[in-house]
Amino acid sequence: MRNGAWIGLLGLVMACAAACSPDVGPGVTSGTGGSGGAGGSGGSGGVGGAGGTGGEGGGPIPVPAFKHVWSKSFGETDMQSIESVAIDPATGDVVAVGSFRGVVDFGGGPLVSAGEKDLFVARFGPLGEPQWSKRFGDAAIQEATAVAIDPAGSIYVGGAIRGTTDFGDGQVLTSAGSDDAFVAKLDAQGNLAWAKRFGDANAQRIKRIVITPSGRIVLGGTSSGTINFGGSDLVSAGSSDIYVAELDAEGTHLFSRRFGGTGFDELGGLAVDPTGSLFITGTFDTTMDFGPVAGDMLTSIGGHDVFLAKLSANGTGLWARRAGDTGSQRGLAIAALPNGDVIVAGEAAGTLYLDGPVLYAKGDRGLFLARYSSTGKIVWGQMFGGKGSGTFGVSLRVDPTSESIFAAGLFDDSIDFGGGPLSAVENVDVFLARFTLDGAHLGSRSFGGPGPDGALTLDLGPQGDVVIGGAYAGSIDFGGGAFTTTSTVDASGFLARLSP
């Protein structure tokens, strides 16, 4: 049972009991599962089995051990969290963004927050060597929740700001009221190119950034009230709507679209395929209309349901799908395959109906993984969980070279991805799992200690290695020696690079 909670938008405020149990080493599971169902990797066939590895037969599959390459801990007594990471494919460098309170040192000297929470950007070499780090903020709250690197090596950082944020070179952004969305472009050395703010007196936030094959920047997020990216006003129809906006490398508006109904709608994931088509997933609780091309309006059965939609390169809805039942389900992450298919991940309570396959949560909540074809047909779906299991977020990437799906996140109690259960030490722990493109289990591993620990982000390096980032309280060991904080109430940030 967990003693604390992760609160907020995969950024966290952690609270747990002072009593700690002894730390344990990371667990590893492996499996020899077969293919992901009769539809294979490209058809519209059935399910690989609820919670199983799917399909029939199949010989032993080599299981990656997620071997430790390097890991780092940041902060001791106050709050630090790695919210998003991006790996530069040209250099293997890692850029990490997030938020912190108090003092944090990424290796280039201490950064001191100006107030309740500041945002940071930090760059590390392929072996974890610090290159530079910067903080931005005032006495209010500033958070960085998304980062992406374009083919030229430019860095794009997005999130939300309150108050006034000085990005340097005279570019000062002041929020119009509550949280406003922001995006900033930095060069490879961390020098500012430009910064922009979007929003009104209500709350707006950038949650995801992707770079298109043509080098354009696509922003995805959530907005209440009115937001304008340089085109028409996007006015929310309910308490919260989602948006997708595209800018060029100079920050000039190219298109922006709003999607939502009269209830609460939230973006979970954003992805782009090799043709420039966009995919989004998230949650909604009344209706979602993606336009006449996409087909009929989606209507929630009850509670919160998952939406999945494909958009053209100019943001026009092409098709949309709903998944859920009367319980609560959320789409949290999405990744596109080279052939235009898409992998979506999320969490579900109760039953998840996927236009054919029916998946059942084994505990309080389960983590689902599903593949859809480029035309929106379900290929396979799986649900993972355990006794009392709860999953609180997941990040997702696809490696075309090894034809693997990587997922990272956080779980409590236990979860089984097909190779045997992973058990949390006492609170919420980190998981990392790898699957074939047919959904068969290749390997999974957990990391954690007595306090809450969670992976909030992952990215893949040019050699197929994995970098995960997040936060922990108490202690955690990724294979290179345990890190320990002085408090199990506040969180320290972590980065870990693991080889498959």
Spatial contact of 442 and 24, defined as CB atoms under 8 Å apart: no
326-370 pLDDT tens trace: 888 999 999 999 999 999 999 998 889 888 889 988 777 889 999
Weakest mean pLDDT among 67-76, 150-159, 430-439, 488-497: 488-497
Angle at the Cα of 495 from the Cα atoms of 490 and 500, rounded to 5 degrees: 140
pLDDT given at position 200: 96
d(CA 427, CA 412): 6
d(CA 304, CA 285): 5
Q: Is residue 11 part of a domain?
A: no
CA distances from 479 to 69, 156, 458 (A): 8, 31, 17
7, exposed or middle or buried, with CB in 10 Å at 0-12, 13-18, 19+? Answer: exposed
d(CA 115, CA 193): 25
In 3-state terms, what secondary structure has residue 194?
strand
pLDDT given at position 356: 82
d(CA 227, CA 251): 16
381-440 pLDDT tens trace: 999 987 665 666 799 999 999 999 999 999 988 899 998 999 999 889 999 999 999 999
Q: What is the pTM of this model?
A: 0.88
Q: Is residue 417 part of a domain?
A: yes
pLDDT given at position 291: 84
Task: Tell whether the model's pLDDT for residue 4 goes beyond 80.
Answer: no
Mean pLDDT computed over 69-75: 95
Q: Is residue 447 part of a domain?
A: yes
Mean pLDDT computed over 450-468: 94
Element (H, E) at 282: strand 278-284
Taking Cα atoms as reference points, which of 427, 487, 491 lies closest to residue 21?
A: 427
Taking Cα atoms as reference points, which of 386, 368, 364, 397 lies closest to residue 306?
A: 368
Give residue 451's domain range.
26-63+385-500
Across the chain, what does the average pLDDT equal? Answer: 86
pLDDT given at position 435: 97
Spatial contact of 485 and 494, defined as CB atoms under 8 Å apart: no
Q: Is residue 39 part of a domain?
A: yes
Spatial contact of 475 and 485, defined as CB atoms under 8 Å apart: yes
Mean pLDDT computed over 495-500: 95
Q: Is residue 397 part of a domain?
A: yes
How many other C-beta atoms lie within 10 A of the C-beta of residue 190? Answer: 16
Domain count, the chain: 1
Q: What share of the chain is helix, strand, coil (3-state, %, to 5)?
A: 0, 50, 50
Taking Cα atoms as reference points, which of 134, 95, 101 lies closest to residue 118?
A: 101
Q: Is residue 303 part of a domain?
A: no
104-161 pLDDT tens trace: 999 999 999 998 999 999 999 999 999 999 999 999 999 999 999 999 999 999 999 9
Using a pLDDT cut of 70, give the percent of the chain over it: 84
- What six digits make up the tokens of 194? 């430009």
Task: Tell whether the model's pLDDT for residue 8 goes beyond 80.
Answer: no
* Strand order across the beta sheet in which 67-74 lies: 67-74, 492-499, 466-472, 453-460
Residue keyed to tokens 């570019």? 171
| Between residues 31 and 78, the one the model is more confident about | 78
Long-range CB contact pairs, 271-274, < 8 A, 24+:
271/210, 271/334, 271/335, 271/336, 271/342, 272/210, 272/211, 272/212, 272/213, 272/218, 272/336, 273/336, 273/337, 273/338, 273/340, 273/342, 273/374, 274/213, 274/336, 274/338, 274/340
Give the confidence band of 78 by pLDDT, cuts at 50, 70, 90.
confident
Q: Is residue 474 part of a domain?
A: yes
d(CA 480, CA 468): 15
Q: Is residue 352 part of a domain?
A: no
d(CA 431, CA 394): 9
